[in-house]
Amino acid sequence: MWMIVVILSVLLGVCFYVYKSRRSNLRRIHGEGQGIFITGCDTGFGYDLAKRLDGLGFRVFAGCLNSNGKEAGELARSCSKLLSVVQLDVTKEDQITSAKAYVETVHRNIGCGLWALVNNAGIDCYGDIEFSPTEFYRRVADVNLFGMVHVTKTFLPMIRKSKGRVINNTSVKGRLSLPRISVYGITKYGGENFSDCLRLEMRKFGVKVVIVEPGNFGGVTGILSGSNLNRLKDDKETMWNRADPEVKQVYGRKYLESQFSELERAADTSCRTTTPVIDAFEDAVTLENPRTRYLVHGGRGLFDKCCVYATLNSYLPTAWMDFLVDRWFNSSGVAEIGI
């Protein structure tokens, strides 16, 4: 009998702990007037997040690649006076320094501080390793990885003082290796590692570090459309023109064309709204105890296959994952090799 009492007591204790933990995890901070700096606000996630947090009363500093551009102007007009558009190319040291100086000036005048830094700026690249020039790796890493590192190191003293948080936008492709995304993927894996190291180092200061990993949202963010898609098409021509003659002979032009046709079709399979990702960002900014990682499923089907594979990747042997990825992601263009 006493054994039953002990077991029931333990179960009740566990249930109470889970209940209290869940309630604690759902408590939100009051953000009225607190400073938030977001990079990459010209379009996509950054643009929508700036509007969301402005609506919640935060003082948003929206870093834009072109602060005088049409998108930046629309963002400023659609938000309150608490939002400031800030010129920021994350590859330019002088612009990062100027952005910090501006935030510090606003803080001295009104005492907003800096509660959160959201590293969102990023660019894409697509293509087989043998076709991708080394300069493509440097160009994408300058934005996606070294831009994140430089901006974080610049603003970290302000985040430490507020005991706030750093939120880094990586990708599902920072947890899953796929063919033709090495240029992009290594920057996202790097962003994951940088975030993990930073989280451990900042624990002693009470600073939280959160990672948001969007799945298939490329069609709605603009990264696979408009000027970005045109840049990717230009990259395709550069790849072909600079490829070694032996590589051209082995792969063939039709193979390269088929890869980029697949890329254009990919936009049609992505989620139609950024809302799931913006919800994750909002939780990361406002919850007292946010999750360490937010893997956000996108796509238009029943599931986001990249997110499903990323989850499986944490449990299945590498050989199994290679087989699955090869069957689902690696068949495109094989018939055209050498043509």
Is 184 annotated as catalytic?
A: yes
The predicted structure's pLDDT at residue 270: 87
Q: How far apart are CA 278 and CA 271, in angstroms?
A: 13
| pLDDT tens track for 288-318 | 999 999 999 998 888 999 999 999 999 999 9
The predicted structure's pLDDT at residue 282: 98
Q: How many residues does the chain have?
A: 339
Residue 64 pLDDT > 80, yes or no?
yes
Q: How far apart are CA 317 and CA 120, in angstroms?
A: 32
**Arithmetic mean of pLDDT over the chain:** 91
Tell me which H or E stretch contains 248. Answer: helix 245-251
The model's confidence at residue 13, banded by pLDDT at 50, 70 and 90, is low
The predicted structure's pLDDT at residue 19: 46
The predicted structure's pLDDT at residue 301: 85
Residue 335 pLDDT > 70, yes or no?
no
The model's confidence at residue 18, banded by pLDDT at 50, 70 and 90, is very low
Q: How far apart are CA 15 and CA 272, in angstroms?
A: 38
Residues 304/316, Cβ–Cβ less than 8 Å? no
Residue 36 pLDDT > 90, yes or no?
yes
What string of DSSP letters covers 31-47?
-TT-EEEES--SSHHHH
Residue 11 pLDDT > 70, yes or no?
no
Residue 225 pLDDT > 80, yes or no?
no
Instruction: Give exposure, 120-155, as e/b (b: 16+ Cβ within 10 Å).
Output: bbbbbbbbbeebbbeebbebbbbbbbbbbebbbebb
SS (H, E, C) 174-206: HCCCCCCCHHHHHHHHHHHHHHHHHHHHHHHHC
Q: Which of 126, 184, 251, 255 is catalytic?
A: 184
Residue 222 pLDDT > 60, yes or no?
yes
Largest CA distance in the chain: 81
The predicted structure's pLDDT at residue 24: 47
- Tell me the residue type at 69: G
The predicted structure's pLDDT at residue 210: 98
Answer with the residue of higher pLDDT: 18 or 210: 210
| pLDDT tens track for 136-157 | 999 999 999 999 999 999 999 9
Residue 338 pLDDT > 90, yes or no?
no
The predicted structure's pLDDT at residue 4: 56
The predicted structure's pLDDT at residue 23: 45
* Residues 5, 10, 11: CA angle, nearest 5 degrees: 100
* Average pLDDT for 17-39: 74
Q: How far apart are CA 231 and CA 225, in angstroms?
A: 10
Residue among 297, 285, 275 at smallest CA distance from 210: 285
Residues 45/278, Cβ–Cβ less than 8 Å? yes
The predicted structure's pLDDT at residue 88: 98
| pLDDT tens track for 85-137 | 999 999 999 999 999 999 999 999 999 999 999 999 999 999 999 999 999 99
* Average pLDDT for 203-226: 92
Answer with the residue of higher pLDDT: 76 or 266: 76
Q: How far apart are CA 188 and CA 169, in angstroms?
A: 9
The model's confidence at residue 204, banded by pLDDT at 50, 70 and 90, is very high
In terms of Cβ atoms closer than 10 Å to its own Cβ (0-12, 13-18, 19+), residue 276 is: middle
The predicted structure's pLDDT at residue 25: 61
The pTM assigned to this predicted structure is: 0.90
Count of C-beta atoms within a 10 Å radius of residue 316: 14
Nearby residues of 9 by Cβ (< 8 Å), 6 or more positions away:
none
Nearby residues of 173 by Cβ (< 8 Å), 6 or more positions away:
181, 184, 185, 188, 306
The alpha carbon of residue 22 and the mean position of all alpha carbons in its chain are separated, in whole angstroms, by 26
